[in-house]
Structure 1
Amino acid sequence: MDEKPFETMNVIPFVDIMLVLLTIVLTTSSFIASGRIPVNLPRASKSVAEANKAVIIEMSAAGNLYFNGTAVTLESLRTLLAPIGRETGFVIRADRDISLQRFIDVADLLKQLSFTKVAVQTKSSN
């Protein structure tokens, strides 16, 4: 058998592959470095913060319900919420040991009355 040793190696296909890989790495690294696609956002004047404070609904571990610090029942809460504007914000402060059903009852009541600005206050785990 007559085998010839490699005298030269054709590196042009290897260079082409490396250039494609380099292009891919450089393109994706610009997205990774900024964390998002760069967008030049339009400017607007700062808006004035709303004067309305959020209404606080609290639920104690014993299952008691409070509306702005006053003890209420679920039925009386419905009557208290009815005249309030639908753009009012609510903060629900619920004890971690309450029944899930009790929490869902209050959240469902707010949904039935078409309130959309509802937040649940939590404590940081730090």
Structure 2
Amino acid sequence: MRRTKKDGLNLVPFIDIILVLLCITLSISAFIPNKNIKVNLPNGGEISREKMAKFKVVINGDDEIFWGDEKVLQSDIKDKIFSVPNDDLIELWCDKESRFKSFVFIIDILKEKNHANFVIQTRD
């Protein structure tokens, strides 16, 4: 009885080589540093005197919210902001020690009101 010769390609060694190359690629790619996205941020400028805001929202380092010089609760600031006409400029002052959550809270109120005329104060 004669054995038949199998004509074909044995794929098992080929698959082994591919898996080894895949492991090497994955292990090396973890050591490649990610490049940071470079963004040229604008500087904070000054507002002209005729555009000075009549309304000012201040968040201090203890996350207390002030409307002008008057301390208000988070539940009351929404009514104060909604009473401002959309054409009037609102200044937002936020202490760098305050939580970002308080800042986002005020921005969400402005967004809900569709009040796009506001300024976030920065230090030059």
- Fold shared per TM-score above 0.5: yes
TM-score normalized by the length of structure 2 = 0.56
Paired residue for 2:85? 85
For the pair 1:116 / 2:116, whether they are aligned, the reply is yes
Note the 1:1-126 alignment, pairs <5 A: 53-124=53-124
Paired residues of 2:53 and 2:91 also in contact (CA < 8 A): no
Over the matched positions of the two proteins, sequence identity in percent amounts to 12
CA–CA distance in structure 2, aligned partners of residues 89 and 55 of structure 1: 7
CA 1:60 to 1:51, structure 2 compared with 1: closer, same or farther past 3 Å? closer
Paired residue for 1:29? none
How many residue pairs align between the two structures?
76
Q: Structure 1 residue 61: deviation in Å?
A: 0.2
Paired residues of 1:74 and 1:106 also in contact (CA < 8 A): no
- Which amino acid counterpart does residue 87 of structure 1 have in structure 2? D
CA–CA distance in structure 2, aligned partners of residues 59 and 89 of structure 1: 17
Unmatched segments (≥5 aa) in structure 1:
1-48
- Which amino acid counterpart does residue 112 of structure 2 have in structure 1? Q
Q: Give a deviation string over 1:53-101, Cα, whole Å, max 9, x none.
A: 4311000000100001100112101111222211111111100011111
TM-score normalized by the length of structure 1 = 0.55
SS in 1 for 2:77: helix
CA–CA distance in structure 1, aligned partners of residues 120 and 84 of structure 2: 19
Paired residue for 1:24? none
CA RMSD, 1 decimal: 1.8
Deviates more, 1:75-84 or 1:90-99: 75-84
Unmatched segments (≥5 aa) in structure 2:
1-48
Paired residues of 1:52 and 1:88 also in contact (CA < 8 A): no
SS in 2 for 1:98: coil
**Deviation above 3 Å: which 4+ runs of structure 1?**
49-54
The structure with higher relative contact order (CA 8 Å, sep 6+) is: 2
CA–CA distance in structure 1, aligned partners of residues 71 and 85 of structure 2: 21
SS in 2 for 1:122: coil
